[in-house]
């Protein structure tokens, strides 16, 4: 059992590492469901590939997902214009999500074993991840993290104060596209490993919990990582101990963690 659980835990540590950081950007932008929309688009790309004979979890399937997420990145960067309010961009994200979900259902209707494809799309197969997959994903996320470090001032500027960044001469739409394109690389790999629901969980819940308990960005990041890793381990252990599906068990543990963080925030008056 331990030889199965260790790669799964390593994968969740890597996923929490990149997603907790990206979650800080997403909360600053006020586009909470962008990850869910991009994850759904990535899943749509993968299952559309199956319709055309491309097997899941292959290079062809990955590039189908990546192409779909790049299209979503373009839509999201364009929808965040100078005169576009946050509510309108959130509406655009919701439209993209619901349309891609509807398309996924129609594609799945044409595939044999559609229920299994749907289950894989939603909850992934993180318990059966292999060490080569962990290594490949870790290297990819290290590159994405390095680029975020190099461009951190621009990315935080367009996340926290896009109007000020544009007034300073920054091409907000171009940098928005670069942000979402890198996000697309992360989401495409994450959905393949963990499924739509777990990817959204890793992105939002650690960032929200940390934001309620820490004021500085660095403090939120470290706290989000710590909470995410500890909760992921608890979810994997509960899954093995109670013989539950791993992805849903982790999501439920994150739900309990978010309630505990909310209670702590109220208790300490934050």
* Per-residue pLDDT at 259: 92
CA angle in degrees (0–180, nearest 5) for 92-97-98? 100
* Per-residue pLDDT at 33: 80
Could you identify the residue written with the tokens 């899941």?
A: 56
Ramachandran assignment for 243, one of left (phi > 0), alpha (psi -120 to 50 degrees), beta (any other) = left
* Per-residue pLDDT at 75: 82
- Taking alpha carbons only, the member of 196, 155, 201 closest to residue 179 is 155
Give the number of residues written for the chain. 270
User: Taking the CA atoms of the chain, what radius of gyration do you get in angstroms?
Assistant: 18
Return mean pLDDT, the chain. 85
H helices then E strands: how many in the chain?
A: 11, 0
- Taking alpha carbons only, the member of 73, 4, 87, 24 closest to residue 224 is 24
Class of CATH domain 2-262 = mainly alpha
* Per-residue pLDDT at 226: 95
Per-domain boundaries in the chain = 2-262
List the end-to-end C-alpha distance of the chain, in Å, as a whole number.
41
* Per-residue pLDDT at 115: 54
* Per-residue pLDDT at 31: 80
pTM of the model: 0.83
Residues 6 or more apart from 39 whose CB is under 8 A from it? 187, 190, 191, 196, 199, 200
Q: If 0-12 CB within 10 Å is exposed, 13-18 middle and 19+ buried, where does residue 160 land? A: middle
Mean pLDDT in each 10-residue stretch from start to end of the chain (270 residues)? 82 94 90 82 85 82 88 80 60 84 82 62 75 93 96 92 88 90 89 84 92 86 94 92 87 93 79
Residues 6 or more apart from 79 whose CB is under 8 A from it? 88, 89, 92, 93
- Taking alpha carbons only, the member of 11, 9, 5 closest to residue 140 is 11
């Amino acid at each position: 059992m331990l030889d199965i659980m260790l790669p799964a835990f390593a994968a969740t540590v890597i996923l929490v590492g990149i997603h907790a950081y990206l979650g800080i950007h997403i909360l600053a932008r006020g586009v909470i469901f962008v990850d869910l929309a991009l994850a759904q688009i990535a899943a749509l790309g993968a299952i559309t590939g199956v319709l055309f004979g491309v097997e899941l979890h292959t290079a062809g399937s990955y590039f189908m997902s990546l192409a779909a997420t790049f299209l979503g990145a373009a839509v999201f960067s364009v929808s965040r214009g100078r005169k576009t309010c946050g509510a309108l961009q959130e509406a655009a994200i919701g439209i993209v999500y619901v349309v891609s979900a509807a398309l996924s259902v129609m594609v799945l209707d044409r595939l044999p074993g559609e229920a299994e494809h749907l289950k894989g799309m939603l909850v992934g197969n993180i318990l059966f991840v292999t060490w080569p997959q962990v290594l490949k994903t870790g290297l990819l996320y290290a590159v994405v993290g390095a680029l975020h470090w190099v461009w951190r001032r621009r990315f935080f500027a367009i996340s926290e104060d896009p109007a000020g960044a544009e007034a300073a001469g920054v091409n907000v739409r171009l940098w928005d596209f670069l942000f979402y394109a890198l996000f697309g690389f992360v989401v495409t790999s994450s959905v393949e490993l963990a499924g739509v629901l777990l990817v959204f969980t890793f992105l939002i819940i650690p960032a929200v919990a940390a934001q309620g308990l820490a004021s500085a960005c660095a403090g939120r990041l470290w706290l989000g990582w710590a909470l995410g890793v500890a909760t992921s381990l608890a979810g994997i252990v509960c899954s093995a101990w109670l013989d539950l599906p791993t992805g849903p068990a982790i999501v439920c543990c994150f739900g309990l963690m978010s309630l505990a963080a909310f209670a702590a925030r109220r208790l300490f008056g934050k």
